[in-house]
Amino acid sequence: MSPQKHNLTLRRASESDSESLLSWRNDPTTRVFSLSSAVVTRDEHNLWLNGALNDKNCLMLIGEANGKPVGMVRINILYNSTLGQVSINLNPSDRGKGMSRQMLGESLAYGHKIFDQISEYAAEIHVGNEASKKIFKSLGFVNVSESPVNNFETYLLNSELIEISQ
């Protein structure tokens, strides 16, 4: 059975996404599964967003359904290398609707066209985040952690496994 196809579009994030991104980041569920569980202040967020939007090694995409932002996927090239770090966050009101897999898959395909030097993608996933583990595994990511570090496991995907035709 193939996953449901949603009417999703991707676009690059901009400063106009600041409020949505901050709200999604400070959502209690997001914080539980984030590398840092602290509430992010507006000033911290603005500094981070400005840096991310101006970083040539960062691609931040917003997924939209029917013109409404539903989530964000970020790909960072680590240390100017061939490793890309991937993270995803959905608008809390759009979780559980089956859009994450499609948004992540299409973002990886788009990102791979931008960052063609990436040979492997990594995601740090909280051990309790079963939904994220399921989504990343469904796209070919493999858990390579021998044991969790601070409750996070590392999942990797060889870039040759990305479905560019998505």
Concatenated DSSP letters of the chain: -PPPPP-EEEEE--GGGHHHHHHHHTSHHHHHTSS--SPPPHHHHHHHHHHHHT-TTEEEEEEEETTEEEEEEEEEEGGGSSEEEEEEEE-GGGTTSS-HHHHHHHHHHHHHHH-TT--EEEEEEETT-HHHHHHHHHTT-EE--SS-BTTEEEEEEEGGG--TT-
Asked if the structure places residue 2 within a domain, the reply is no
What percentage of the chain has pLDDT greater than the value 70?
95
| Band (144; pLDDT cuts 50, 70, 90) | very high
Report if residue 87 sits inside a domain: yes
Confirm whether 166 is domain-assigned: no
127 part of a folded domain: yes
Domain that holds residue 20: 8-161
Instruction: Give the residue-averaged pLDDT of 25-53.
Output: 95
Structural domain contains residue 132: yes
The number of folded domains in the chain is: 1
148 falls within a domain: yes
Query: The CATH number of the domain where 75 resides is what?
Result: 3.40.630.30
Determine, yes or no, domain membership for 105.
yes
pLDDT category, 3, cuts 50, 70, 90?
low
Examine residue 122 and state whether it is found in any structural domain, yes or no: yes
